[in-house]
Structure 1
Amino acid sequence: MRSRPLILAFAGFCIAFGAALWWFQTRAFYTREDGVTEIEIQGSTLPVVEYDGIDAATSPLKLRACFRIADGVAPDALQHVAEAEAPTPLVAPSWFECFDAAEIAEGIEAGPIRAVLAARNTPYGFDRIVAAGPDGRGWMWRQINACGTATFDGKPLPDGCPPAPED
């Protein structure tokens, strides 16, 4: 009995499975979003240009966007908006190059980048965060909030959380 064909078939299966797994983890389900001209931040609109974003229906945490605040808008346009609590940009897929989570987090920590809460519980349990630097560059992402953490952990909701939606 020759084992070479069996070994080659198994190796081929492993390569195909690995490639499919990689594609589903890094490329599948994402949709590109461009052409956005304004972002809503707590009921106000912020005009933007050069918007490049990705999102997916499979998880609220897949939202990432990069943009520039439109010319003619004051650099301190976000000053009237409440700062986000513990803004933590999540790493984007490697092919979405404009969103460097480490650089954004470092800028937030050091101070030149300001992160604000754009919308709370949209969808339930997730906050949409917008950050902008003094040079007019901006980024947007979603992160889980205390209501979402409690809900997904099966714990009682903290004070101030709306009731969790029924499945």
Structure 2
Amino acid sequence: MNRGKLVGGAIVGFALIFGIVVYYTQIYAYYEQVDAETVTIRLTPLGGQDAPEPMLATNLQAIDGSSSPLRFRACFDTSESLALLTESYVIHDAAVPLNAPGWFDCFDAARIGADLRDGTALAFLGEAEIADGVDRIVAVYRDGRAFAWHQLNEKFAD
């Protein structure tokens, strides 16, 4: 009877430790803060023949991960008006922000997604194929708040 409790306890202990390690790696280990000077947010001009152009971005906070191109998230401010942006750059109609880890609290995917659906924010194609099958999307609000993330494009999307 004691041996069974010992084996059962060892299995539960191992499962608990394994769960903690998996949680830590998914939420913390593979993400790193990105230095604002190393990130340039770009938008794709209408017509698509020209290369993506840098947009004005201040107060940039960004995270990225080496384990997946989908781990990029950024929060920033821009002084470019929505009117100018809609006249100059490609609007992205299928934008779906991906969740960020809870500790990166400037990026609220649920709120951004709801605001994109109700028109409070507009999404633009930042850079197509920033990685194989992945596009950078940029959402901009009228007050100048802006967010960027990577999402699968039609190459890998359902």
The CA distance in 1 between the partners of 2:40 and 2:143, in whole Å, is 18
The CA distance in 1 between the partners of 2:95 and 2:81, in whole Å, is 23
Q: 1:61 aligns with which of 54, 59, 70?
A: 70
Task: Please name the residue that 2:2 is paired with.
Answer: 2
**TM alignment of 1:66-85, pairs within 5 A:** 66-70=75-79, 73-79=80-86, 80-85=88-93
The CA distance in 1 between the partners of 2:131 and 2:36, in whole Å, is 22
Aligned Cα root-mean-square deviation (Å): 2.0
Q: Tell me, yes or no, if structure 1 residue 19 matches structure 2 residue 20.
A: yes
**TM alignment of 1:133-144, pairs within 5 A:** 133-144=141-152
Q: Which ranges in structure 1 are unaligned for 5 or more consecutive residues?
A: 151-167
Q: Which has the higher helix share?
A: 2
The CA distance in 1 between the partners of 2:24 and 2:84, in whole Å, is 39
Alignment TM-score, normalising by the size of structure 2: 0.82
Alignment TM-score, normalising by the size of structure 1: 0.78
Task: Please name the residue that 1:29 is paired with.
Answer: 30
**What is the one-letter code of the residue matched to 1:60?**
P
The CA distance in 2 between the partners of 1:61 and 1:49, in whole Å, is 23
The CA distance in 1 between the partners of 2:17 and 2:131, in whole Å, is 35
Q: State the secondary structure of the residue aligned to 1:148.
A: coil
1:51-102 deviation digits (Å, cap 9, x = unpaired): 11111121111111111114xx445342211111311101111221111111
Q: CA deviation at 1:7?
A: 4.2
The CA distance in 2 between the partners of 1:113 and 1:69, in whole Å, is 13
**What is the one-letter code of the residue matched to 2:83?**
D
Q: 2:56 aligns with which of 47, 54, 74?
A: 47
> Percent of aligned pairs with the same residue?
33
Q: Tell me, yes or no, if structure 1 residue 105 matches structure 2 residue 106.
A: no
Q: Tell me, yes or no, if structure 1 residue 90 matches structure 2 residue 95.
A: no
8 Å CA contact retained: 2:134, 2:150: yes
Task: Please name the residue that 1:127 is paired with.
Answer: 135
**What is the one-letter code of the residue matched to 1:40?**
R
Query: Which of 1 and 2 has higher RCO (CA within 8 Å, sep 6+)?
Result: 2
The number of equivalent residue pairs is 148
Q: CA deviation at 1:13?
A: 2.0
